């Protein structure tokens, strides 16, 4: 009977140790599983952050290309500005351009007057106005306007007034050669100068 009790005790001790070992293994397995799960979550978060950073780097490259394109366009647009360093030099440049275009169109300049630019505007560029009075036919005026519009320098016509010259007009091949007196204010642009 003692040996039976001893065997039962051993079985109980072995069963208890087995249960404890099983409980320890289950605890260890759950602990490892939780750690692995936390590790995967942290890894996924870091992967998401890495993906966001990669996207930012790609966006930066796209933005740098767009910036370079805009800078090139800006330089090309600024090449159309007048090169005069003062208002007088810029106005003289406009006068020279208008004179060349008028002569090429076969019209005649009657008067040229340099107007004061509006310095109160807060823009980055200053418009330099020059008022020109021209004697021309309708065809010459049309050519002149077209050539002003397609000039290499950025020019705009701020004001335009056309009067028919008193007197007789002739008809040549169905077209009137009536002389027109045109007063136009041509504006060219320069970077705003400090005064």
Q: What is the pLDDT of residues 143-163, one digit of tens each?
A: 999 999 888 898 999 999 998
Residues 96, 133, 147, 166, CA torsion sign: negative
Rounded Cα distance between 133 and 121, Å, is 27
Judged against a pLDDT cut of 70, whether residue 170 lies above it is answered with no
3-class DSSP state of 112: strand
Q: What is the mean pLDDT of residues 1-23?
A: 81
Query: Chain-wide mean pLDDT for the chain?
Result: 86
Q: For residue 144, what are its two tokens?
A: 């002149």
What's the pLDDT score for residue 96? 94
Whether pTM exceeds 0.75: no
Pinpoint the alpha helices (H) of 106-177: 138-149
Cβ–Cβ contacts within 10 Å for residue 189, how many?
Answer: 22
Judged against a pLDDT cut of 50, whether residue 195 lies above it is answered with no
What's the pLDDT score for residue 171? 47
Contact in structure between 155 and 97 (CB atoms under 8 Å): yes
What backbone phi and psi angles, to 5 degrees, belong to 176? -75, 135
What's the pLDDT score for residue 194? 57
Rounded Cα distance between 128 and 11, Å, is 109
What's the pLDDT score for residue 129? 94
Q: What is the mean pLDDT of residues 129-151?
A: 92
User: At CA 49, angle to CA 43 and CA 52, rounded to 5?
Assistant: 145
Contact in structure between 126 and 100 (CB atoms under 8 Å): no
CA 97 centroid distance within chain:
29
Contact in structure between 133 and 179 (CB atoms under 8 Å): no
84-93, 96-105, 166-175: the lowest-pLDDT one? 166-175
What's the pLDDT score for residue 9? 79
């Amino acid at each position: 009977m003692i040996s039976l009790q001893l065997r039962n005790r051993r079985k109980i001790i072995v069963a208890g140790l087995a249960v404890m070992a099983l409980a320890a293994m289950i605890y260890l397995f759950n602990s490892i599983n939780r750690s692995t799960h936390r590790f995967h979550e942290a890894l996924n978060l870091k992967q998401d952050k890495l993906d966001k950073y990669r996207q930012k780097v790609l966006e930066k490259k796209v933005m740098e290309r767009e910036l370079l394109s805009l800078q090139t366009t800006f330089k090309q647009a600024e090449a159309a500005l007048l090169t005069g360093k003062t208002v007088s030099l810029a106005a003289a440049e406009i006068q020279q351009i208008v004179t060349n275009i008028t002569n090429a169109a076969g019209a005649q300049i009657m008067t040229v007057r340099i107007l004061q630019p509006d310095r109160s505007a807060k823009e980055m560029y200053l418009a330099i106005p020059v008022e020109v009075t021209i004697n021309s036919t309708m065809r010459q005026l049309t050519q002149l306007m077209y050539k002003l519009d397609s000039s290499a320098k950025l020019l705009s016509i701020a004001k335009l007034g056309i009067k028919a010259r008193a007197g007789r007009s002739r008809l040549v091949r169905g077209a009137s050669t009536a002389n027109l007196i045109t007063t136009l204010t041509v504006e060219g642009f320069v970077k705003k100068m400090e005064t």
